[in-house]
Each structure stands twice: as structure tokens, then as C-alpha cells.
Amino acid sequence: MLKLRGHHLICLHFFNGEGYDSAFVENLKDVLNRSQKEEIEVCEGADAVCEKCPYLKGDKCGYDAQADNEIKKMDNKALMYLKVRPGARIKWQEIKEAVSGLFPQWFSEYCVECDWKKVCVKNQDYQKLRA
Ligand code: SF4
């Protein structure tokens, strides 16, 4: 079962082959591949993406001093927009469809100031949603 946290259920749609390091990128490719074939369990905290992240410290996000709290808030907001709860089992295609509807709000709330925006803008799905 592939476990994914709230904001990754949205942001992963805009992966464009870039990431913190090669282990992280290879894992992202694997996660996306699995997402097409496996059911996804919505989780709280560190997930299948965080597993290979150089910033994961124990079970917390150490991207910066406030990251763990801020990212958990972002996860909660993503789950609210997606109308799913932790523990739910979902399919990637259902999430993909939901992301189209919530994207304008997500963009103005999170993408505008995100460090990764410069990467996501190269993704074709992201460009379509922005058009
Ligand atoms: S930066 Fe934090 S939330 Fe993002 S993948 Fe790494 S540990 Fe997970």
C-alpha cells in the first residue's frame, strides 16, 4: 500500500524529474509509478516520498526550523480541499481529477511562494492548469 501525505497528493502531479538528490528523484519516479497501479492510503506525517528525503529527521520534516508544523498545516489543507481523511484509501486518478478543480485556490495559497515553483512551472499539467 502506497502511503501519501496531504500536500504530496497534490504536488506530486507536477513532478518534472527534479528533486533534492538522485535518491530522492529515483524514489519519486518509483512512487509515481506505484501510484498508477496501487491503492493509496492517505497518511499523516512522513510518507513514501519523505522516506528518501535528505531533510527527514526521524519522523519529522527538517527542511527548516518551522517546516514540520507548517507542512502538517499544508497537509491538512490539502486533505480538506481533496475531501479525504487520513486512513482513507483512494485511487490516483480520482485525486488527479480533484486537483484540476482545486488548483486555482492551491496555487494562490501555496504555489506562489513555494521554493519548488520554478520546477513545477516546467510540468505540462501545471502549465495547462495555469492557462
Ligand atoms: S522536505 Fe519534508 S515534507 Fe518534503 S519530502 Fe522532505 S521530509 Fe517530506
Specify the pLDDT at position 121.
96
pLDDT tens digits, 14-47: 999 999 999 999 999 999 999 999 999 999 999 9
Average pLDDT over residues 39-64: 97
* Distance from C-alpha of 1 to C-alpha of 23, rounded to nearest angstrom: 21
Q: What is the DSSP letter of 65?
A: T
Total structural domains in the chain? 1
CA of 50 to the centre of ligand 1 (A): 5
Closest Cα to atom 3, ligand 1: which residue?
61
pLDDT tens digits, 85-128: 999 999 999 999 999 999 999 999 999 999 999 999 999 999 99
Residue 50 Cβ < 6 Å to ligand 1: yes
Look up the domain containing 85 and give its range.
2-130
Strand ranges (E), the chain: 2-5, 40-43, 56-57, 60-61, 89-90
CA of 83 to the centre of ligand 1 (A): 22
* Distance from C-alpha of 117 to C-alpha of 119, rounded to nearest angstrom: 5
CA of 116 to the centre of ligand 1 (A): 12
